[in-house]
Amino acid sequence: MTTPEALPAYWRDVSTRIPALPAEIPEAWAFGATPEHADDLLELVLSGVKTGTASSVWDYEAAEERMPEAGDLSVILDGAAAPRAVIRTTSVRIVPFDEVDEEHARSEGEGDRTLRAWRDIHERYWREHSENPRGFAPDMPVLCERFELVDPAG
């Protein structure tokens, strides 16, 4: 797990290399539900394949968490909870699950990058890992987030 000093030290290093970044450390989180999934998705981000992600609006509501907005920065953690990258959210839109489009599915970089694969992967994910009792529904609200890689840590 990330030690209390790891995130501040990482942010100091990134801020030194990119002085335009704010002094305040942004939210840190990992993609996926397991350490292995976090590492796999992080590699897609670092390689430039993954430029989008999707989240259940119901999960944000159940956890009482703020939803991301365009311009937000995030520190992305690997499966061991070590900070590895910084991303900036470039756009956010909320659509029903069954209206997520092919372009967004491709931006997520998973599977064969088709809409069919995206739907299969995400339905399974929300059925198994939702933070809310509703889990999955074909018309559930999905937050489709696009982002850019600001800094990959070596």
Pairing of strands 27-29, 73-77: parallel
Pair 2, 75: CB distance under 8 Å: no
pLDDT of residue 5: 72
Pair 7, 144: CB distance under 8 Å: no
The CATH class of 6-152 is alpha beta
Pairing of strands 27-29, 52-56: unpaired
pLDDT tens column, 75-94 = 999 999 999 999 999 999 99
Residue 97 has pLDDT above 50, yes or no: yes
Q: Which residue in this structure is represented by tokens 């968490």?
A: 65
**Integer-rounded Cα radius of gyration of the chain:** 15
- Residue 59's CB: how many other CB atoms inside 10 A? 19
Pair 125, 54: CB distance under 8 Å: no
pLDDT tens column, 2-52 = 555 799 999 999 999 999 999 999 999 999 999 999 999 999 999 999 999
pLDDT of residue 153: 61
Task: Quote the CA–CA distance of 71 and 92 in Å, as a whole number.
Answer: 10
pLDDT of residue 17: 93
Task: Quote the CA–CA distance of 133 and 92 in Å, as a whole number.
Answer: 24
Residue 1 has pLDDT above 80, yes or no: no
The pTM of this model reads 0.92
- Residue 21's CB: how many other CB atoms inside 10 A? 18
Residue 152 has pLDDT above 90, yes or no: no
pLDDT of residue 29: 95
